[in-house]
């Protein structure tokens, strides 16, 4: 496409880049999408205000299911080099070892993960470092003006700006809060060394109405032992302030049964906090633009579904919708809507949202229905523990003794 023929898109003198797909936001979703599309031969622009993604407290652990999605998108080897796998997952309930799973979990720091994905971008997709100053969308072409005056024209615009509102607001979509300040994620490093801790990850469920803590999980990221704890409280809650002031003492009081597994909870990093709301988007069915990952919806980190939702969006766009949309002229809202109506995307989003709401209710609600549910769940788990103890005793009972 020649910029001189489209003065309404480019202006008279501007330097313009034309692409099939412009992606705004080079986080996990945007970078993965850019790589997969470029590998499929699409012309892509990827724009982010920062060359290096800062080291923020975000997702730090994921499961095999998400690694399979990275593999499907051609990024398996890139991602596996950035994560620390664990195959022995120990689950504690009621202060006792409840379950030992042999499935895999993978620990990582979010900044290095996103930067590693960016390093894996094919040469055809250089990261454009810049701020989007203007956006206009329409049924044929999307036009972005960056703060330095350069212009990008694309048939499709993908907004992958995570929690940030600037580009969403410019386009005119709204975030709908389904549960404000739903949960608080707390992250810190433990002093215990990976050698002392052993090659395992540990998850300790509390789940009492008084504590409002679903669980704490401890896992390895490289040479660090990292803990993530989730609480249904706000950052301003006096409990949170007290935890920040003396995390070790509070952890010892909350979880004395596992303290010896965790070096008595000696902590050797700042305590990081992140408040998360459950949100979705309204007014998003419009010509020429799709919203993906956290730019479309946010769910509770305790359920660990954010990466799965983001990668499902990327996979559905790459494997089905973008090839279909680019094969015919135009990019009207009826085309783009097919993505939001995709059953696999809807199922991933709904599962994450419902799990987020249920997980909080089962820990915090005090109505009769929820008390009965808690009693039912806890009784079933206690019976399982008891059944296993009986089996264990039966196994070790001396056989064939004297009458």
Ligand X SMILES: Cc1cc2nc3c(=O)[nH]c(=O)nc-3n(C[C@H](O)[C@H](O)[C@H](O)COP(=O)(O)OP(=O)(O)OC[C@H]3O[C@@H](n4cnc5c(N)ncnc54)[C@H](O)[C@@H]3O)c2cc1C
Residues 42, 58, 212, 261: which binds ligand X (CB under 6 A)? 58
Q: What is the distance between the alpha carbons of residues 178 and 181, in angstroms, rounded to a whole number?
A: 10
Residues 154, 156, 293, 316: which binds ligand X (CB under 6 A)? 293
* 307 in Cβ contact with 28 (< 8 Å): yes
Of residues 243, 189, 208, the one with CA closest to residue 93: 208
Residues 36, 155, 255, 305: which binds ligand X (CB under 6 A)? 305
The span of 14-22, 80-88, 160-168, 205-213 binding ligand X (CB under 6 A) equals: 160-168
Residues 47, 67, 262, 348: which binds ligand X (CB under 6 A)? 47
**Residues between 85 and 114 that touch ligand X (CB under 6 A):** 114
> Residue 63 to residues 47, 70, 115, 216, 346: CA-CA distances in angstroms?
29, 11, 20, 17, 20
* 30 in Cβ contact with 158 (< 8 Å): yes
The span of 11-19, 25-33, 241-249, 376-384 binding ligand X (CB under 6 A) equals: 25-33
Q: Which residue has the tokens 């996990």?
A: 28
Q: In degrees, to the nearest 5, what angle opens at C-alpha 312 toward C-alphas 311 and 314?
A: 60
- The interface mask with ligand X, positions 129-158, x = CB under 6 A, is ---x--------------------------
Q: Indicate the residue among 50 and 389 with the shorter CB distance to ligand X.
A: 50
Q: Is 184 in the site for ligand X (CB under 6 A)?
A: no
Question: At a CB cut-off of 8 Å and minimum separation 6, what does 275 contact?
Answer: 181, 183, 184, 234, 235
* 43 in Cβ contact with 20 (< 8 Å): yes
> Residue 372 to residues 33, 98, 365, 376, 381: CA-CA distances in angstroms?
44, 22, 11, 6, 14
Q: Indicate the residue among 224 and 374 with the shorter CB distance to ligand X.
A: 224
Question: What element of type H or E holds 20?
Answer: strand 16-24
Residues 23, 28, 158, 289: which binds ligand X (CB under 6 A)? 28
- The interface mask with ligand X, positions 309-348, x = CB under 6 A, is -x--------------------------------------
- The interface mask with ligand X, positions 252-281, x = CB under 6 A, is ----------------------x-x-----
User: In whole angstroms, how close is the CB of 397 to ligand X at the nearest point?
Assistant: 43
Residues 116, 162, 214, 247: which binds ligand X (CB under 6 A)? 162
Residues 9, 21, 22, 24: which binds ligand X (CB under 6 A)? 24
The span of 294-302, 342-350, 356-364, 366-374 binding ligand X (CB under 6 A) equals: 294-302
Q: Is 26 in the site for ligand X (CB under 6 A)?
A: yes
Question: Which two structure tokens, joined as six digits, stand for 153?
Answer: 């024209």
Q: What is the distance between the alpha carbons of residues 362 and 292, in angstroms, rounded to a whole number?
A: 29
Q: Indicate the residue among 10 and 57 with the shorter CB distance to ligand X.
A: 57
Q: What is the distance between the alpha carbons of residues 18 and 30, in angstroms, rounded to a whole number?
A: 18
Q: Is 59 in the site for ligand X (CB under 6 A)?
A: yes
Q: Indicate the residue among 209 and 273 with the shorter CB distance to ligand X.
A: 273
Q: Which residues pair with 44 in a beta bridge?
A: 21
What stretches of 186-303 show up as alpha helix (H) in DSSP? 194-197, 238-245, 247-254
Q: Is 38 in the site for ligand X (CB under 6 A)?
A: no
Q: Is 286 in the site for ligand X (CB under 6 A)?
A: no
Q: Is 116 in the site for ligand X (CB under 6 A)?
A: no
Strand 151-159 with 16-24, pairing:
parallel
Residues 11, 49, 74, 139: which binds ligand X (CB under 6 A)? 49
Question: At a CB cut-off of 8 Å and minimum separation 6, what does 348 contact?
Answer: 305, 308, 309, 312
- Other CB atoms within 10 Å distance of the CB of residue 4: 9
**Interacting residue ranges for ligand X, rule: CB under 6 A:** 24-30, 47-50, 53, 57-62, 114, 132, 160-162, 164, 166-167, 185, 274, 276, 293-295, 301, 304-308, 310
């Amino acid at each position: 496409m020649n910029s001189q023929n489209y003065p309404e898109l480019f202006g008279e003198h501007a330097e313009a880049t034309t692409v099939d797909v412009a992606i705004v936001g080079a986080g996990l979703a945007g970078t993965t999408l850019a790589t997969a599309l470029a590998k499929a031969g699409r012309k892509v622009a990827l724009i982010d205000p920062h060359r290096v993604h800062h080291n923020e407290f975000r997702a730090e652990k994921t499961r095999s299911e998400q690694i399979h999605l990275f593999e499907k998108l051609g990024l398996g080897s890139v991602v596996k080099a950035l994560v620390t796998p664990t195959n022995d997952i120990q689950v504690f309930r009621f202060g006792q070892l409840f379950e030992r799973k042999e499935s895999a979990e993978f620990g990582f720091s979010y900044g290095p993960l996103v930067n590693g994905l960016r390093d894996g971008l094919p040469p055809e997709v250089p990261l454009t470092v810049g701020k989007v100053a203007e956006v206009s969308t329409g049924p044929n072409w999307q036009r972005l003006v960056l703060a330095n005056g350069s212009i990008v024209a694309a048939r499709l615009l993908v907004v992958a700006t995570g929690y940030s509102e600037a580009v969403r607001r410019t386009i005119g979509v709204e975030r709908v809060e389904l549960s404000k300040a739903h949960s608080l994620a707390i992250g810190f490093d433990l002093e215990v060394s990976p050698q002392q801790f052993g090659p395992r990850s540990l998850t300790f469920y509390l789940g009492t109405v008084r504590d409002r803590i679903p669980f704490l999980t401890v896992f390895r990221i490289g040479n660090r032992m990292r803990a993530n704890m989730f609480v249904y409280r706000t950052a301003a809650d006096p409990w949170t302030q007290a935890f920040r002031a003396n995390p070790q003492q509070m952890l010892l009081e909350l979880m004395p049964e596992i303290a010896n597994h965790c070096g008595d909870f000696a902590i050797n990093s700042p305590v990081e906090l992140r408040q998360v709301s459950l949100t979705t988007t309204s007014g998003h069915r419009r010509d020429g633009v799709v919203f993906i990952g956290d730019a479309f919806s946010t769910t509770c980190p305790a359920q660990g579904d954010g990466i799965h939702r983001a990668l499902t969006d990327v996979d559905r766009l790459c494997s089905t919708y973008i090839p279909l949309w680019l094969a015919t002229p135009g990019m009207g809202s009826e085309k783009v809507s097919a993505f939001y109506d995709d059953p696999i995307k809807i199922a991933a989003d709904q599962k994450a949202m419902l799990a987020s709401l249920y997980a909080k209710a089962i820990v915090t609600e005090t109505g009769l229905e929820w008390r009965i549910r808690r009693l039912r769940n806890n009784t079933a788990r206690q019976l399982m523990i008891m059944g296993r103890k009986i089996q264990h005793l039966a196994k070790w009972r001396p056989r064939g003794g004297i009458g």
